[in-house]
A and B are shown apart, each in its own frame.
Chain A
């Protein structure tokens, strides 16, 4: 261990456990973009003194983490599942270059979509990119596997995925620290390795072969000494499982033998083969896509999977019981609770009221303001991914009949604009629709949906200290947007309709910025402003 923390037994969430492991392993840089359910990892890491920073988006976060790992430093990069789509470009080639310092990438998946636009299963990324993947089942494993991931990353010089899910990130369970000891961190110094890190085709071809050799070695290691314990019960029923599903399995089928996979890529196929042979019937139990099942079948293992209906949503004890029993009868529907809504007094409300009143076609985006889709506003027509408001709005403008095209507006939040909207703004300049376009940035000065994180447009770093600030108006002017208008959606609430209407009538490119601090953030940011003003 780089540090020798005292033995402590405590309750911790999975996210807190990852942060503690990063601290105990002396991780030199934590980078990420906020996203439920991953956000607390870097916040806790920073609160305990770890060097952490928010990046504009996940791609940049991974690139910064990769640079740190090239330097020999340990790096932790965190994001929600859809964030890995954004970061997938560096991911696939970082698998080729490999790393010097340990590089752990947390993908926090959201099966059941508690707070996401899809429930993609990011285990496929491990397979597709060729990076090892750990899957913890509780906070203890979140801690232990973070340490093991760093160790494995440094031993094989390869980035490692730590794939969590909402139920691991946000469940609080008993955590004992310190755990698995990690070798001391390598020295941080630049060592030139041109063929290893410059991925021109001539160097990338051998790099791909090196990657596949590493994965073969890791698979053999995983079979021999990987974190894949077997619970030996009766020989009748065996269950192969991983992550939090293991917990449901132990409760739903206490008599079954269980092979619990901790490193789910590259899989310990021989361990799985031996387990299947030791039981009369073997079921693969997993949340989401049939990832383990397909790998087992491809290796000719005689296992059964789950009926298609259990691909959707989270698994729980009852659903696992049904899968084991082969029960495909309709499931009871959960009682509908009260849906979330924009806070009373939220400045976004006035903008959505105006857009509804004007009959706008609204290309929306990801954040609190997506709630503008719900009654009483019902003022959003599309929401796909971070930044899509602008591209989708432009596509609508380019192709709709003119009367409809003139009603299209793109609406995006400040943090989302910095994340993925700036390239959309460039597209707007480069390929302007004949009717022009109107982009509205709802600037509440924070990343509200995920719990009030800073971003490059707030001019404050993760720890709220002042830093460089992206000026949206100056950026738009520099790119050549002629019409830029800032309004206060509360003070000028009666004027919003007129402002939008005037912009729509122009057939030109307009940027409207509705600027008013989020009610939830206003108190804290005012206090920080005063504190900064003191000498």
Chain B
């Protein structure tokens, strides 16, 4: 069920308007990767607030732990050792998780009414009680975020702490971050704030510093400040120009239209043919000849 105090912008597999009488403030999370020290307090806070305990994994020889997102790990820190320029080693750490797209590929793909909700404030939330476990959200997501649980076959991901936000609190990760790298507020304010941060980074030699708020998905409600905004892929494969795959559009929009017209035409064609031409039958005289 939707949270009563959060109005709904879009609801998966629903063709009628959703409840939206209030004018909700558009919110966002701004993750300033130039301030992140990779302490994983956000990961811990996420587990703590959402009461999730992933299975203990194995050491892969890197700091990434757990190694990937899962139905019980909705955010993970990804550590990349890169050389953006020859002889210049940098350790780029990114908090990975749902980006809360304005145009969510998961929601477009989802066939179950109400299993994915986009609130007016920008949060994209999964409602597992309506989820049928088809995994289409995984196919639709341009960031490879949703994960199906092996326990219950439902899809899970970061909720942007919709339950906390609904009662006026910041997400758990933002509250726990010791360096202030994760900011929470209105999207408008954070866009303005990011301008100052980027100017500061540029002054300190990061000429290509910039904001990651990709327009291909209509902007996101989790944004990054990147030192190398010209090369987002340096940050453990952050997509350069994410968007809903043309295949998903073909599948979810064009196929539906073609099918509607085609099936309608086949049925109407049959009825018209029968009414104008009559049945293909053999008359009694022909039957009598044998």
The answer on A and B forming one complex is no
Binding site for B on A (CB under 8 A): none
